[in-house]
Amino acid sequence: MIFTVLTLFSEMISALLTGGIVKRAIEYQYISVESINIRDFAKDRHRTVDDRPYGGGCGMVMKPEPVAEAIRHARKKHPEAYTLLLTPQGQLFNQGLAQKLADQPGLILVCGRYEGIDERILEHLVDDELSIGDYVLTGGELAAMVVIDAVTRLIPGTLGGEYSAEEDSFSTGLLEYPHYTRPRSFEGAEVPEVLLSGNHAAIKEWRRQASVVRTLLKRPDLLMDKHLSSDDIRFMTKLQKDLKTIMGNHSTAS
């Protein structure tokens, strides 16, 4: 996967490449990350990249010419790549989208700054717009880093043999089960007995049920359109029954 980031702040992107899985993925050549400075495509003496908005109003707008030139340059180099503009107005990024992007041969990530980019860039030069959440950042660079990180770890091989992305929260549609390591007793809190049992079937069942309970408690919205197995349904029916019993014992009716 070739990531090409078009930005005014290449040094921000460099921070992502200095450690962890992304650094290793570059070393093993699963991915490459190149930053292109949009300012290098400004034509005037002052290398101007922004200007005042037509119609008035506060803030500056990124001029279309340098951005267009930068995108064309990147596309010429990587004709197969999918071009994304990072903007709070874009489609919300999630795990499903990360998976789709991971199947692309390359991504060109265009980072906006100031109040936004001239609208005409959007109409002709990008394939899609992406947002990483309903809040406003000062620029697209952090969003581009989020996309690079989430997509990289889905590329086969990047996580190393010891771990797979298949059990991730969101990949299964459920939150992940809780994890424990040594010591067995930590400040009075014990590791659940079943995890010490060596009974793999029981551990698998416990983890699945823990995932269901966590999702139910923390992110019930995820369960609304999730296909649950018959085991899950049976488990949830039992939970429902237990809850009813408990509630019955604490009835406020009388």
Kindly list the residues in this chain that would bind ligand 6GU in the complex (CB under 6 A). Answer: 86-88, 130-133, 135-137, 139-140, 143
User: From the CB of 147, what's the least distance to ligand 6GU, in Å?
Assistant: 8
Reported in sequence order, the residue ranges of 43-202 that DSSP labels E, i.e. its strands, are 50-51, 61-62, 82-92, 106-111, 116-117, 128-131, 185-186, 189-190
Task: Report d(CA 112, CA 63) in Å as an integer.
Answer: 11
Exactly one of 113, 141, 153, 207 is catalytic; which is it? 153
- The C-alpha atoms of residue 103 and residue 175 are separated, in whole angstroms, by 24
Compute the least distance from the CB of residue 5 to ligand 6GU, in Å.
Answer: 12
Q: Specify the residue, 97 or 159, whose C-beta has the smaller distance to ligand 6GU.
A: 97
Closest CB to ligand 6GU among residues 131, 215: 131
Instruction: Out of 129, 149, 168, 176, pick the active-site residue.
Output: 168
The smaller minimum CB distance to ligand 6GU, of residues 151 and 212, is found at 151
Cβ proximity to ligand 6GU, 106 vs 112, nearer residue: 112
Single-letter residue type at 245: T
Is 9:139 a contact under the CB 8 Å cutoff?
A: yes
- Asked if 168 is an active-site residue, the reply is yes
Distance of closest approach, residue 57 Cβ to ligand 6GU, in angstroms:
17
From 44, 103, 115, 127, active-site residue: 115
Minimum distance, C-beta of residue 92 to ligand 6GU, in the bound complex (Å): 9
Closest CB 129 distance from ligand 6GU, rounded Å: 8
Cα 139 to Cα 7, 20, 111, 116, 136, distances in angstroms: 9, 24, 7, 9, 8
Q: Does 219 qualify as catalytic in the annotation? A: no
220 has catalytic annotation: no
Helix (H) or strand (E) holding 2: strand 2-7
Catalytic residue among 50, 66, 88, 207: 88
Say if residues 2 and 31 touch (Cβ distance below 8 Å).
yes
221 catalytic, yes or no? no
- Catalytic positions, written as ranges: 88, 115, 153, 168
